Structure 1
Amino acid sequence: MIFFKRKKYILILSLFFFLFVFDKAEAATLYIKPSQTEVSVGNIVNVQISVDTSGKFINNVESIISFPKDLLEVVSLDNKSSIFSLWVENPSFSNSIGQATFNGGVPNPGFQGGNGNIISIIFKTKKVGTASIIFSNSAVRENDGLGTDILSSQRGSTINIVSSTKIEPIVQPQTNEPIGVSIITSKTHPDQAKWYSDNTPEFSWDLPKGAVGVRTLIGTASNGVPRVEYAPPISKKKVDALPDGIYYFSLQIKTANGWSDIYRYRVNIDTTPPRPFSITFPHGEKSFDPEPIILFDTIDNESGISHYDIKVGNGGPERTAPLAVSNPYSLPAQYPGTHTVIVKAIDRAGNSTNASADFTIEAIESPIITYYQDEIESGDSIKIRGTTYPDSDITIVFKQDEKVISEEHTQSNSSGDFAFFLGKRIDTGVYTFTARVTDGRGAKSNETLPLTIAVKSALLNSLTSTVLNYLSAAILIVLALGGIILSGTYVWRRYLSIISSMKKESREAEDTVKKSFDILRKDLREHIAKLKRAESKRKLTKEEIEFLEQFEEELEDAENVIDKEIGDITR
């Protein structure tokens, strides 16, 4: 009884263990469709990479897909209808090593299904052979919070590449003579591997001798059979506007020998530009860094991004790879100021979408000019000294009448000092110069304010010096003469002033003397008159008569002398 109980417990535990292990077993499958196909040399074949999750929810698949590079080359990768919306590693390929890679994911709750399209790979066949497309380094991760790899199997694809396309025609009767070869060409879409934005392709072909009819077909199937018949035969066909996608134009030609093999021509049409996008600056729109970092990215649903054209201001476009350097991208060194960067995303068909953004580069400090000669003779060296950042490049620009005549460079030492000597001959004239510094990072300053240098002829300077020497002596003589003249003028005016004053005072003295003398003379004459009246009454004495005669004579002499002296003074 105990034995049976133990067997029962063992059976239950074994069943539980079996169910537990089975539940956790790897179950997903990676596979390629079609698993096998036949294609002629130079034609296109589209294979689809898919996953079967066997009922489990997954959130990530990664793989490397290898192909023989001598037999196949990848034309493009297409993930527009992928189950994944997140890409750890964007789908990419290398024809030089014969590999394509991807690493995609999907958010919660993940993907569950048996036909999960991951990417499509479009190959072009190169030569006859059997090409095996296989998986390696693959993983399918379950959405269990642990990222458990549940990949259980991988099924590749085999492509048999033959020398020419041989698909059974609708009617292929016995023929005794070979049918002439017909080659389809297209002036609107000349390269079957390229994408075009023209959605009205035109095809043409040469009709063999004896052709009585043709059949054509345009469609997305690479093995389509022509069904639209034209009799008499046509030699060209223009197709109305087609939606975006990959199409195959199929052609058969009928002669007396029957219908020919089917000839096909592929066209790739994409009229839709890449999705709109924006440009961001992870370190800010203002920076002292002369090479700011920008971020940008977009996708194109049909042909894929070919490249980006990046343009700053009026500079020419700079082409960059589609995915490798778009995030982040370092702009080339810019001068201080506000700039506009324009990024144009261009798909493989030439459609484009633009994005633009403004950014500002802050200027570092300008150099300080400590010495220069504002006037030199022609033939002399221009000497400039200054100070700025250590071990930096200084650009000195010489201008004449706003026209740049020379741009020179020098380096500052470890202390920031710099010296510049311009040894080449500069014609006489007036020049200005400015200086700008660029540090080790490439950051630039604004230009200094213009400083002026006058370059004069040596002969002219000599003549000018001689003339100035003589002119200086002449000026001194003129100044001396001028001083003498001014002094003489002053003395003369002073003399005249004194004479005028003396004349005035003389006239005043003359008037005073005359008045005084008149009074004296009046008084004396009255005394003389009295003496004469006394003479009538008595006889004057001899002494009185002599006194009277002598006094009158002397009074007259005194009056004459006074008049003469006053007259001399006034002259």
Structure 2
Amino acid sequence: MKRTAKIGLLCILVITGASGSISLAQTGARSASLFVAPPVGIFTVDSTFTVSIYVNTGGNFINAVEANLTFPPDKLQVVSPTAGKSFLQVWVNQPTYSNTAGTLKFQGAVPNPGISTESGLISTVTFRVKSVGNAVLKISDTSQVLLNDGKGTNILGQTTNGVYTLTLPPPAGPVVTSPTNPDQEKWYSAENVSFRWEALPEYQGFSYILDQDPTDAPDDISEGTRSGVQYKNLEDGVYYFHIKALRGGVWGGVTHYRVAVDSAPPAAFAIAISPSAYTSNRRPLLALETTDVTSGIDHYEIKIIPVTPQNTSQAESADRDAGTPFFIETVSPYSRQLAIGRYDVVARAYDQAGNYYQATSRLTIANPIFEILRDRGIRLGGAFIVPWPYAWTILVILVIVLSGFARTVWQWHREIEEQLRSGVHTHPSVVQKLDELRRKWGMGGNKKHFVFWALLFLVGFSLFTSASRAQTSGAAATNVSVQPPVITLFPNSISNDDILYIGGNASTPDAQVIIYLQNTDNGDTVSQNVATDKDGAWFFSFPGFLNSGRYIIWTQLKVNDEISPPSPRLDLVVAPTAVQIGTQRLSFQTLYLVLLVLFGALAAALGGFIVYHGYHFQTKKRRLLAGIQKAEESIRRGFALIRRDIEMELATIHKAKLAKELSFEERLREEKLLKDLDMVSSYIGKEVWEIEKEESEL
């Protein structure tokens, strides 16, 4: 069908001389407009009304019109579109509509030379009113008015929509009012709904019903002559109360009364803070977004509560000076310039019945670790500024210190290299064995063997070792005969680095709320007074930090000389998250950050030191152990030669002993040689040839 419509319209444009489409600006023609009549109106449920769609060509000649309209299908229903009396002589298609999608469509054309008119009727549409509310008959942006210029230029420049108020019919029966829902157009949160109606003496009875049909009628059975009724625990939704009166044995007309009930708050939501809830950006964006399935979201309110002392006094002073309310109505996203500190952001989403959901989020505006100020220097932690001359001086000193350390490391390596060039014979363990070898060898008198073997194990290795180790958290007040106020603001948790705040609503404006805070550990109790505003709202931030511990808090309301009984007590635990140093307070968060930076820097330095020197230690250790092993092997062989010489000398003494008795000096010599033989054997163990001999004997 759509394809046929497009082909038909194209054929008409060809017949009338249209061959393309260009913009209105290129033609210099005045713009045309589409509008509906009547543009406004008030119509009752179940009635019908007619709307006409017109075109004003703006003094131009046009040859085709396409008008696309939308309407709310839950409130209006098309009874019949009619093409009668239209200036359009050729319809591409009969006017089409959809009561499901809420759409209307008209497409038509006129032959050459076209038409120029200020109020050319395109079509009329008859609607039936289905329900109460506001309905907009909107001309869509896809509509067109084509100029008869041979190019099919769309000259539509303006549209005028229709806005209609849809109400219930005027009372045909008793006049009805509702104490709980006085305005039929508004939503209310009360689940219990009551109705009242006039009971004239001539009325013999009433029949009534409550349902969700706007045009329903009660039956002809009388419910009695009472003048009111109450319905309890209604579910959320829109209801209609229908009533008629019996007079003179005849039932009269029906009165309809609309009530809208929404007792549920909007859906739970979280405050989205951009760039994050912990940021150095002093103008964060606070996004508030939720839904309400019944009556819809009406508006958002927000309050930013400082929990650091310096910001608390500034914010309260600013609010008093500006006369701002307790909560500020806002739209999402909300942004405001904030000082450094911590804040509780409290946001409320209200639906059209006045219900609200309250969300709270902690926002911390922190100083950046450092900022580069072009003409001033470097600001560290937002606390102090290092001017450029001092900054360059510190950098130069740092470079000098690092250069000195680098020079020391370089000297260490030079010493290592020097030891490697000198050889392993300078190593203490090797020197000790060499001295023993020289001494023993000297006893044998054979010096040239010593020189030969000593030259074999002179290998150049040395040892350098280095090791380092690094190691690296309210109460409500009520009144007496005056109803107690309700606490709506009280922190879920607090630390001894946060400011305690409490707030709520009271039934009496311009009264005094007395807030009591008692430390349950030592019994100390303090009290503070705060005034309620003209709406009964009150809010108070305590002037200083609380010590860590357990507290209870309660309130009373004072109106003139009357004081309410104490409100229910609320428990409060203040967690220790700050260190008191004299008159200064250092939060654990700051302390942890400083320690983390220090330990991180220390760990990084030590880690680099360990990795660097550990690598060189392992490399040079392997080289040194290899050299010592070779040196000890050479020394062992030297001791082996000494042992053979000792054994040969002992053999000579043994032969002499067989021939004659040894002299005293010879016996001493034999004993000395035997001791030396045991000592030398302990150095070198068994020779290979001795092991082979033992194995052959087995």
Question: Aligning the two structures, in what range does the TM-score lie when normalised by the shorter sequence?
Answer: 0.3 to 0.5
Q: State the structure with more CA Rg.
A: 1
Normalized per residue, the structure richer in helix is: 2
